[in-house]
């Protein structure tokens, strides 16, 4: 029987695992597993839209009504766990790249390409959303001050280049993110 192929980052040929660009830390994180889960829900999945739930090393992101992405652990075990609970589940970890963005006000950096209000008051910890960033579809979440992004592997290099270029173009002083309203 043939050995399974080892996972390889979509950015392995292109970028280092971590880069500091003008005060922003942009880190590619390995993805051990992602299960896409659909159904009526399970007790360990977030019920409220645009929230997340951490259970030890497993992170469940609300993705759409009746849909979640669950990160962590072993992909086959994740899929089996949710299928045993009567939900539809499949492994999709090979299709994504995870980037963590921290350092000097990551919301400022992301605001240059994302239509969401990412200020801490509007998009606080334990929040998640699907949106566009630099015209690329991403899933993003915030657990503390920093952000994490999931981007399709086919778009990872373009997003990485955009993040590097944008971080280098930001002035030394922080640009306030405009507030909504009159």
Q: Are 142 and 124 in contact (CB under 8 A)?
A: yes
Domain boundaries, the chain: 18-169
Tokens 């280098």 sit at which residue?
A: 168
Tens of each residue's pLDDT in the chain, 182 residues: 556 555 666 776 665 555 666 678 888 888 769 999 999 878 889 999 999 999 888 999 999 999 999 999 899 999 999 999 999 999 998 899 999 998 878 999 999 999 999 999 999 999 999 999 999 999 999 978 899 999 999 999 999 989 988 888 876 544 444 454 44
Pairing of strands 96-103, 127-133: unpaired
pTM: 0.83
Pairing of strands 58-64, 67-71: antiparallel
User: Could you confirm whether domain 18-169 is CATH 3.10.129.10?
Assistant: no
């Amino acid at each position: 029987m043939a050995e399974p192929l080892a996972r390889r980052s979509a950015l392995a040929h292109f970028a280092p695992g971590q880069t500091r660009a003008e005060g922003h830390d942009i880190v590619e994180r390995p993805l051990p597993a992602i299960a896409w889960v659909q159904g009526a829900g399970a007790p360990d999945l977030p019920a409220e839209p645009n929230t997340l739930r951490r259970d030890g090393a497993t992170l469940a992101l609300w993705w759409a009504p009746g849909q979640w992405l669950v990160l962590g652990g072993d992909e086959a075990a994740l899929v089996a766990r949710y299928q045993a609970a009567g939900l539809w589940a499949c492994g999709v970890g090979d299709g994504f790249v995870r980037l963590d963005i921290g350092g000097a006000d990551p919301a400022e950096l992301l605001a240059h390409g994302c239509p969401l209000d990412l200020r801490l008051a509007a998009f606080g910890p334990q929040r998640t959303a699907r949106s566009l960033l630099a015209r690329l579809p991403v899933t993003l979440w915030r657990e503390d001050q920093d952000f994490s992004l999931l981007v399709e592997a086919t778009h990872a290099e373009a997003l990485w280049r955009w993040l590097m270029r944008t971080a280098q173009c930001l002035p030394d002083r922080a640009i306030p993110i405009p507030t909504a309203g009159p």
